[in-house]
Amino acid sequence: MNKLLIVGTVAFDAIETPFGKTDKILGGAGTYIGLSASFFKLQQAIVSVVGEDFPQEYIDLLTDRNIDVTGLEVVKGGKTFFWSGRYHNDLNSRDTLDTQLNVLADFKPVVPQHYKDADVVLLGNLHPMVQISVLDQMEKQPKLVVLDTMNFWMDCALPELLEVIKRVDVITINDEEARQLSGEYSLVKAAAKIRTMGPEYVVIKKGEHGALLFHDKEVFFAPALPLEEVFDPTGAGDTFAGGFAGYITQSENISFENMKNAIIYGSNMASFCVEKFGTERMVDLTKEEVLDRLEQFKALTQFDISLGDE
Amino acid sequence: MNKLLIVGTVAFDAIETPFGKTDKILGGAGTYIGLSASFFKLQQAIVSVVGEDFPQEYIDLLTDRNIDVTGLEVVKGGKTFFWSGRYHNDLNSRDTLDTQLNVLADFKPVVPQHYKDADVVLLGNLHPMVQISVLDQMEKQPKLVVLDTMNFWMDCALPELLEVIKRVDVITINDEEARQLSGEYSLVKAAAKIRTMGPEYVVIKKGEHGALLFHDKEVFFAPALPLEEVFDPTGAGDTFAGGFAGYITQSENISFENMKNAIIYGSNMASFCVEKFGTERMVDLTKEEVLDRLEQFKALTQFDISLGDE
């Protein structure tokens, strides 16, 4: 089985949506990515950091899914990264209520020796210097490096971000962030400009409006599944990235045609994530549900106009 | 060939976008619908009204495309409906600068005798009483009645609008209007509620984010083509409806599967409309370009995940 190496936060979240609020629950980009990727046939490891306050049951939840936590540092006496946010009524925007970096402030990622030859590396949303450090520790050039990032790093660490962008094959980024990074309003132009910064492939995430995959002159679109209710969007982008990278790792195929499947799988996984608070839905999700929903994605998007119809 | 009957405005527009502005040019929902439908094998007629100020060359432009204008009343001494608007920088919203109803104020639609047995009727955006009057004049139940409407009529003629909604098979409406009409934020719930008002099929137009087709428990999605530049969105929704109804009329098939093709064709036609000011692009468009773009829509949306990939 191929190896996927993930770097990303493992954290506590406290979330408020119009449907309710949670106390401190399991969260973090790395957590969502790992849970999502665990639905594919692969080996995976997560590089991250938590404090001594992080419950063993949460770590067990990761290892139960065959996520290697050798690279998950537990800082004695340290406190785990904590984020708290409140979503607006449309669930498309949110306010950050609190951010406590805690052990993340001094995080020095250590890639486990047996993952320095990983086939696919997914650099989850973190400081670009952490992402670069992970790449620097690889002993073999991965077949594919995927970067997820956000506007926060554009605002406060742009030179470092541009450095890591140069070194990745795929960037996943949301629409507003693509516009900010490129200075272009049109997403077609934004993707073209971002491709000149390094990545061969640009994935622009549009939330409830789906995701676009750009490469050369080609473009592919994966819709979000229309849902009766979006309960909590937290982690949807990370879950998308985990599904994307998980599928690529499993299939050993980095062609554009196969990446189409990968972003469909990313949308598929993300469509579950938003159905309950935090990681709850990803934890109770079954492989059968994922395959059923793949059929829904086909019904949603596949059509058959033959030339005879002309 | 099957018959499509259109009712909709034929008008003058003056448009401002970030890319420039026009004087009075050809516009109106009926015009865009007719031009779009003219790319399909069908007979079509338009029921509308203009003033004596309406240039013969604009009428010739319609008849050159085999659009029957027997039902296009020219009011002696009257002035043609005029709309003027200015788009904001994102092109997703606009301000109406001027609306002069003129001859539209007293419009009594007259369906030509030879179209009282039309196969498909498209009720373009107009006062619901005008739309009802057209339905009342039909001597044979059409195979399909498609209604396009907007929030303006929800605000000022809701009872009449609900009356016409009861009598149609398909409603096309934008996302905000679907929310307003149904009182539901989720588009899945909005579509379900609108279906209880009458239409078997609900098409929700999301502009640059594509269009959703709902029927029973089924849903299909047609993306908008990602474009380098949207020049002028005027008429895109009408052009979409014209492509949808044109394809259905040509294919004589009102199944859900065929409606998927129809909304892909709607998106296809609309993707051209926005490339130039007003009707300019629709007028110089060729059938070959439409077929080429259909291939682009396939490349954009079609994927192939076989179960073997699991």
pLDDT of residue A90: 80
Question: How far is it, in rounded angstroms, from Cα A263 to Cα A259?
Answer: 6
More confident residue, B94 or B38: B38
Burial class (CB in 10 A: 0-12, 13-18, 19+), A53: middle
Rounded to 10 degrees, the C-alpha dihedral A90/A96/A102/A108 comes to: 70
Mutate to test the interface with B, among A176, A221, A247, A258 (most CBs of B within 10 A): A221
Phi/psi zone of residue A73: left (φ > 0), alpha (ψ -120 to 50 degrees), beta? beta
Question: How far is it, in rounded angstroms, from Cα A298 to Cα A267?
Answer: 12
- Out of A188, A218, A264, the one facing B227 most closely (by C-beta) is A188
The yes-or-no verdict on residue A309 having pLDDT over 70 is: no
Residue B211 lies in a domain: yes
Residue A209 sits at the chain B interface (C-beta within 8 Å): yes
CA of B220 vs chain A CAs: smallest distance (Å)? 4
* Average pLDDT for B120-125: 97
Residue B88 sits at the chain A interface (C-beta within 8 Å): no
* Average pLDDT for A163-171: 98
pLDDT of residue A152: 92
Rounded to 10 degrees, the C-alpha dihedral B30/B32/B35/B41 comes to: -70
Residue B306 lies in a domain: no
Mean pLDDT of chain A: 96
CATH number for position B272:
3.40.1190.20
- The residue type of B244 is F
What percent of chain A shows pLDDT beyond 90?
94
pLDDT of residue A306: 72
User: pLDDT tens for residues A272-301?
Assistant: 999 999 999 999 999 999 999 999 999 999
Question: How far is it, in rounded angstroms, from Cα B205 to Cα B240?
Answer: 9
Q: Are A238 and A124 in contact (CB under 8 A)?
A: yes
| Both structure tokens of A27 | 């969260």
- The residue type of A229 is E
| ipTM of the complex in this document | 0.93
* Average pLDDT for A212-232: 95
Residue B307 lies in a domain: no
Question: How far is it, in rounded angstroms, from Cα A172 to Cα A160?
Answer: 17
pLDDT band at A234 (very low <50, low <70, confident <90, very high): very high
Number of domains in chain A: 1
CA distances from B90 to A45, A212, A283, B93, B240 (A): 42, 19, 40, 7, 20
Q: Residue A86: beta bridge partners?
A: A16, A95
* Average pLDDT for B208-228: 96
Question: How far is it, in rounded angstroms, from Cα A252 to Cα B17?
Answer: 47
pLDDT band at A214 (very low <50, low <70, confident <90, very high): very high
The yes-or-no verdict on residue B280 having pLDDT over 80 is: yes
Question: How far is it, in rounded angstroms, from Cα A11 to Cα A8?
Answer: 9
Residue B194 lies in a domain: yes
- The residue type of A290 is V
Question: How far is it, in rounded angstroms, from Cα B151 to Cα B157?
Answer: 10
The yes-or-no verdict on residue B119 having pLDDT over 90 is: yes
User: pLDDT tens for residues B145-193?
Assistant: 999 999 999 999 999 999 999 999 999 999 999 999 999 999 999 999 9
Residue B215 lies in a domain: yes
pLDDT of residue A87: 93
Residue B308 lies in a domain: no
Residue A310 lies in a domain: no
Structural domain for B237, as ranges:
3-301
pLDDT band at A218 (very low <50, low <70, confident <90, very high): very high
Residue A308 lies in a domain: no
Question: How far is it, in rounded angstroms, from Cα A83 to Cα A62?
Answer: 20
In this complex, how many residue pairs, one in chain A and one in chain B, have their CB atoms less than 8 Å apart?
93
